[in-house]
Amino acid sequence: MNLATDVGRDAWIVPLICTFIGMFLFWWFLYIIRHSEQKTIYSLFKQSLGQAGGSILGVIYITYFIYICARDMRDFSELITNAVLPSVPLEWITLCFMATVMYVLWIGEQNFINLFVIFGYTVAAIFIVFVVLVIADGQFDFHNLLPIMGDGIGPLLPSTFTQVMEFPFGELIAFTAFAGTMFPNLPGKVVRAGVFSVLISGLLITLTILIELITFGPSIRERALFPLVSAARNISIGNFIERIEMLVIFAIMLAAIVKVCIFAYAALQGVVWYTGKAYKSLIIPYLLLTTVISYYVSNNMSEHIIVGLGFIPVFIHIPLQFVIPALLLILILIKSRWRKQNDRSIV
């Protein structure tokens, strides 16, 4: 997706700032889970808001995860119809993609985490090849970046706080739904590794936007639907290595599968927690539902992008990613202090 287009040549600074915010966010989300001694965010809701309130909030979060999952599915399907298979209907592409995601979820969390490790290595390899080819191609201009922050930091802030901080960094909230069940008590090693991987992925996003900017310049980047794919398409070395966008699309697909799986898994963990049904029996109905939502979520690509980068972050992401976790944190801190005082009074 096209991030932070409104700040032109400084677009790469925004994810860089957000990376550090994102590291803090991730630490904060895990801190809530660890400090409350609950396994998932759903049991945390119940603990802090009681049965009824907790259930309502939990269902809201499940819906939210499914919705984000559907949006990502749509994003990726739009990429495929636009860049790879213009002649194949969107429904068909989404359906096949969903079938793949279903199988990946069906093999269980231990296995799909191993699979994602392999994906990680593959994406890293493709990214290195891509960067090497961009450099070898030579069609880039660092002057596109100058002057760096020519208008001061002011113009960067809206897009930082209303777009990039929520998407993708705030979406790390999905990990609160299952991190506690995978790693009981969340030892410091796990939290450190998580924060470190947020740093790495944030730097990757920054590097990607940098490459888009130095190959195209801000004005073309602003208008491209998928600037990274276009950048790959532009590469031509000796009239032989041409059009390597398929490699990039493959990497994007792996990333999309990981993201969709994590959101779907977060939602399914919630459903499992509330209904007690078997995880594997829930995969097919809930992912079919997600597919339907992803099809009806917007009428066309432009609407999808406008809603996804304008409306959603402000009205859906901010309350669910920041306001509620902040309230939970305050509640937990008050409770623990209260408990401490209680202990003292007993003594």
Partner 1 sequence: MTGLLYKTWEELESTFEHSFGKTTDFVKVPVMFNERKCWILYYSSLVGSANLSSKLMLPFSQHAGKAESLEQFRAAALASINYMYLTDWIQIARQLNKNSVCILVEGEYEALSIEIGGYTERSISEPEIQQSIYGPKIAFTESIETNISIMRRVLRTKSLQIESYDLSSDKVTGAVLVYLDDVIAPELLQEARQRIQRMEGKKVATLNHLLEGLRDDKKANFFPTLMINERQDSCVAQLLEGRAVVFMEGSPQGIILPAVFQDFFKSPEDAYVPAAMMLFMRLLRYCAFFITLLLPGIYIGVINFNYEIIPINLAIVIAGLRSNLPFPSVIELLLVEAAFEIMREGSVRMPKVVGNALTVVGALVIGEAVVQAGVVSIVVVIIVALTGLSSYAFTYYNFAFSIRLLRFVFIGIASILGIFGVFLGCVILFAYLVNQRSFGYPYFQMNSKRSLL
Other beta carbons within 10 angstroms of residue 299's beta carbon come to 8
Of 23 and 80, nearer to partner 1 (C-beta) is 80
| Alpha-carbon gap, residue 266 to 247, rounded angstroms | 29
Shortest gap between Cβ of 245 and partner 1 (angstroms)?
Answer: 7
The token pair that represents 55 in the structure block: 């259930």
Q: Which is nearer to partner 1, 70 or 102 (CB)?
A: 102
Find how far residue 281's CA is from the centre of its chain: 26
Question: To the nearest whole angstrom, how small is the minimum distance from the Cβ of residue 310 to partner 1?
Answer: 29
Tell me the CA distances in angstroms from 321 to 142, 168, 170, 248, one per residue in order: 36, 11, 6, 30
* Residues contributing to the site for partner 1 (CB under 8 A): 80, 84-85, 87-88, 92-93, 96-97, 99-100, 103-104, 107-108, 110-112, 114-115, 117-118, 121, 239-240, 242-243, 245-246, 249-250, 253-254, 257
If the CB atoms of residues 249 and 328 are measured against partner 1, the closer one turns out to be 249
Q: Is residue 243 within 8 Å of residue 233, measured between CB atoms?
A: yes
Beta carbon nearer to partner 1, 190 or 324:
190
Quote the least distance from Cβ 335 to partner 1, whole Å. Answer: 37
User: Cβ of residue 9: shortest distance to partner 1, in angstroms?
Assistant: 30
Task: Specify the DSSP class assigned to residue 10.
Answer: G
Q: Cβ closer to partner 1: 80 or 211?
A: 80
Tokens (6 digits) for 267: 């939602």
CA–CA separation, 288 and 281 (whole Å)? 12
Q: Using the 8-state DSSP alphabet, how is residue 314 labeled?
A: I
Q: How far is the CB of 281 from partner 1 (least distance, A)?
A: 18
Among residues 177 and 244, whose Cβ is nearest to partner 1? 244
Q: How far is the CB of 97 from partner 1 (least distance, A)?
A: 7
Distance (Å, whole) CA 228 – CA 233: 9
CB of 241 to partner 1, least distance (A): 9
Q: Kindly state the smallest distance separating residue 139's Cβ from partner 1, in Å.
A: 18
Q: For residue 114, how many other CB atoms are within 10 A of its CB? A: 11
DSSP 100-157: HHHHHHHT-HHHHHHHHHHHHHHHHHHHHHHHHHHHHH----GGGGPSTTTT-STTHH
Among residues 99 and 203, whose Cβ is nearest to partner 1? 99
Complex with partner 1: residue 111 or 341, whichever CB lies closer: 111
Cβ-based nearer residue to partner 1, 193 or 326: 193
**In the complex, what is the shortest distance from the CB of residue 306 to partner 1, in angstroms, rounded to a whole number?**
26
Q: How far apart are CA 339 and CA 347, in angstroms?
A: 12
Q: Which of 325, 291, 289 is nearest to 92 (CA)?
A: 291
Q: Rounded distance, CA 168 to CA 206, Å?
A: 12
The number of CA neighbours under 13 Å toward the Cβ of 162 is 16
